[in-house]
Amino acid sequence: MITSEQNTGKQLQRLAAQRQLYATAKKIFGWQVLLSGPVTVLMAFLVIAISTLKGYAALWGITVALCDLFWLTPWQKRLRDSAARVQEAFDCDVLALPWNDVKAGKWPDPELVFEQSEKYKKWASKMPPLENWYASAVGELPLHIGRLVCQRSNCWWDSKQRRRYAAWVISVVVLLFIVLLSLSLGNNFTIEDFVLKVAAPLAPALLLGLRQFSEQREAANRLDSLQNHAERLWKDALSGMSVVEISVRARSLQDEIFENRRKSPLIFDAIFKRLRRDYEMQMNHGVDEFVAEAKKRLGAS
């Protein structure tokens, strides 16, 4: 059921809508990065060369921080929440799980799914295909066990890419700080000069980088915990726990997967595509291993 249902027109439309919603949220995030990152860094370099610009640089930093807090971040979160609910609708149908309106709220409007999927068609050729979202090997297992393998794959994939992305982010932040500190010392800046003329205007960029690092690591930690839970459920399922109980616990696990999607920070599509090439083969190999062990255990029982 999983492998056939995931490739129906309705489910592919949901995946397209989910990608479009996330893409719009990533564009907003891109503006946040641009305004808080390169522009702010440029200001810091200019202040090192022309100290009279420090007032303008500080004003820019305050303006960017306020726009981020009251406008850009709330807008981005609304889009991310909608994308998570569309993805949840896909998972509920494909993995044969009931919708939890207490956790996920209202079922996504079909008009929203159609609108967003139509927008996605304009640039879909630039992205990886939507077909076979879950590895086809899970179709060889009973639904209640194959479902757990899919949930585990969700967690493994997301955790891996977030940890790697977090490592890149903190490396850039540290390197940038060292370069600017070195330039400041080379221009005979005192500690006070560095703090007021460089560090203060640069604060939005540094805070954005540190926040990204922290949030990506927190999301990865949550995903690792969910992956471990999925593996415990999988072992219980192979040990003979009833289908009903496993299904109930799988629904609870899905609640936490959905919640993590709502909370997790975004990753740019260019980075997603780069990491996808690195991890897709590993993920499919892991699925094959789980499927082979399940078939062996079930065949022996």
DSSP state of 133: S
pLDDT at 7: 94
Grade residue 199 by pLDDT with cuts at 50, 70 and 90.
Answer: low
The answer on pLDDT for 96 being more than 90 is yes
- Give the mean pLDDT of 32-58: 68
Residue 280 structure tokens: 């897709």
Statement: residue 65 has pLDDT above 80: no
Which of 188 and 128 is assigned the larger pLDDT?
Answer: 128
Which position has the higher pLDDT, 173 or 17?
Answer: 17
pTM of the model: 0.82
Residues 6+ apart with CB under 8 A from 140: 146, 291, 295
For the chain, the structural domain boundaries read: 2-128+143-300
Phi first, then psi: give them for residue 7, nearest 5 degrees: -105, 10
pLDDT digit string, tens, across residues 243-282: 999 999 999 999 999 999 998 888 887 777 777 777 778 8
Rg (CA), the chain: 23
Question: Which pLDDT does position 93 carry in this prediction?
Answer: 96
For the ranges 64-78, 164-178, 281-295, the lowest mean pLDDT is seen at: 64-78
pLDDT in tens, 105-134: 999 999 999 999 999 999 999 888 899 999
> What pLDDT is recorded for position 254?
96
Size (the chain), residues: 301
Q: What is the pLDDT of residue 230?
A: 95
Q: What is the largest CA-CA distance in the chain?
A: 79
Name 25's Cβ contacts closer than 8 Å, sequence gap at least 6: 76, 79, 80, 83, 266
What percent of the chain lies above the pLDDT cut of 70?
Answer: 86
Judged by average pLDDT, the poorest of 49-53, 226-230, 259-263 is 49-53
Supply the pLDDT for residue 31: 81
Are the C-beta atoms of residues 16 and 130 closer than 8 Å to each other? yes
More confident residue, 68 or 136: 136
Residues 6 or more apart whose CB falls under 8 angstroms from that of 64 comprise: 35, 36, 39, 40, 204
